[in-house]
Amino acid sequence: MSAAQDERLAQARAWLRQDPDAETRDELGGIITRAAAGDAAALADLDDRFSTRLAFGTAGLRGALGAGSNRMNRVLVAQAAAGFAGYLLQRTSGVPTVVIGYDGRRNSRRFALDSAELFAGAGLRAILLPRLLPTPVLAFAVRHLGADAGVMVTASHNPPDDNGYKVYLGGADAGSQIVSPADVEIAAHIQRVADAGDVSLLPRSEAYETAGEDLVDAYVAATAEVARAPFGVQEMRWVYTAMHGVGWETFSRVIRAAGYPAPRVVDEQRDPDPSFRTVSFPNPEEPGAMDLAFARARAVDAELVIANDPDADRLAVAIPDPGAEGGWRRLTGNEVGLLLGWLAAREARREPGASLACSLVSSPGLGAIAAKHGLDFHETLTGFKWISRVPGLVFGFEEALGYLVNPGTVRDKDGISAAVALLGMAADARVRGTTLAGLLEELGGEIGHFASGQVSVRVDDLSIIAETMISLRAEPPASFGSRAVATADDLSRGESGMPAGDVLRYRLADGSRVIVRPSGTEPKLKVYIDARADSPSAAASAVAELESAVRELLAERG
């Protein structure tokens, strides 16, 4: 056995000695035994688990559950909690207050309890949410309680074996997710804890508080006010799925308070289930994820379908469409974003300084809406950590099914408040004798018809993504198919009026747009395509041609 392998075994044994979790201890112990006997697969497994650490960034931590520094586990969470406590103590005068929430994924409650005990042990005031709840309730709690920070244990819509650790800051950050340089500073504190060694020696205390039900009641009341049901919609038929997540309990209370008729629920997906047994991937964007919802909608002759992702911070919407397979079509995140942005613009057009905002990969149609209604418009880097900080914000969205409709209450994407706003639009349309599809046509007649598409390439080796981005920078494409590139922007240089990001943007001569970037949460290279035309079919045709050209380009560069 080589010296490097001996060192890796020593590293794994040191980790094993401090691990408080019987399951991951057994997992790692078996791998160590096989590796010590010279098993090549076990040695490779150890190398994967310990050659690096899950990086703490502006999305916090997220990764697969398991033993090792490159996995989500109780040791890593303890290091993160102790490091974050050190950061807050250094940053805050007096005793910092931190709120901790968790969803229904494997180990979420255990990670949250560990965090609460470690925060309390470090001298912070730690407040644990009363039970598993949606991520937007945690984001709400940071503002509502005037806390200095919040932690949400969730992996959102990631695969079932993942979990994560999302961080918010109060005070001047107003309950938004962290941005640089806070992420770098927190990561440095975490690394110091890891370098110090055994997490079992960190002080713990059970003197944390548990928030009362009045906190959840306050979120429900505030969210119900987003859009009260108009008179005459009690016969509206709609379907809801929680995608095996934590959305249903809270959402059902909100819609009841707002006066909407109860939905027909996808019972198989209503309650939290960490195995996500009816879907291969618990993300409403993924093929097949909404099949049960569509089947339920067909059975009850529904007018629309609403879905939340597992932690209920995202919203998916589907409408009847005779031309679609199965008779139902999921609206794109851009279509929902433009509808909600249109609603916000009409309500805010007399507010001085009111702004609409979206990430730079989302539809430019929101800018057209802002211009039409005399509002400010901002494009940001991807992530609600940036969108939520836009001055004068009344609405913001991302094409990946994220919408911020109630910035005075929640400074993050919120799939529940967005669903209420969308229900309000659908109900008003119904009263007027039209539908969401009719509203999209009406909006297109006002600002032009925008269409969007996406090419997403999932990889096992992240170096493939890096090499593709290097190739595109070294030799920018002159065209996408027959459509010439007018300008090519490399946003990593920070020359666009926003913080630098690993993003390439191509504006085409015909007014279309292509944007390439690595995913921030998954091993994917993502390409976003937008086109505008005088009709929906012409815009869709332009997007289809560009998608084909993008796939051809990536095949050449990959």
Residue whose C-alpha is closest to residue 251's, from 240, 243, 267, 264? 240
Q: Which two tokens stand for residue 66?
A: 């398991």
Which residues participate in catalysis according to the annotation?
156
Beta bridge partners of 132: none
398: β partners: 402
- Is residue 148 a contact partner of residue 169, using CB atoms and an 8 Å limit? yes
- Distance, CA of 248 to chain centre: 18
- Type of residue found at 349: R
Rounded to 5°, angle at Cα 74 from 70 and 76:
40
Could you tell me if 422 and 339 are in contact, meaning their C-beta atoms sit under 8 angstroms apart?
Answer: yes
Task: Give yes or no for a contact between 387 and 365, defined as CB atoms under 8 angstroms apart.
Answer: no
Across the beta sheet with 238-241, the strand order is 264-265, 238-241, 304-308, 315-320, 328-330
The secondary structure element, H or E, covering residue 45 is helix 40-50
Which residues neighbour 555 within 8 Å (Cβ) at sequence distance 6 or greater? none
Kind of pairing, strands 125-128 and 209-210?
A: parallel
Helices 40-50 and 3-18: angle between axes, nearest 10 degrees: 60
Length of the chain: 558
User: Is residue 514 a contact partner of residue 484, using CB atoms and an 8 Å limit?
Assistant: no
**Where do the DSSP E strands lie in 232-387?**
238-241, 264-265, 304-308, 315-320, 328-330, 355-359, 376-380
8 A C-beta contact, residue 36 and residue 46? no
**Backbone angle region of 156, left / alpha / beta, with phi > 0 → left and psi within -120 to 50 → alpha:** left
22 is written with which tokens? Answer: 């019987």
Cα–Cα distance for residue pair 63/55, rounded to 1 Å = 10
Of 448, 31, 385, the C-alpha closest to 173 is: 385
Torsion of the alpha carbons at 472, 477, 481 and 482, rounded to the nearest 10: 160
For 458, residues 6+ apart whose C-beta sits below 8 A from its C-beta are 522, 523, 524
Q: Please report, for residues 22, 105, 217, 512, the alpha-carbon distance to residue 154 in angstroms, rounded to integers and kept in the order given.
A: 22, 7, 22, 36
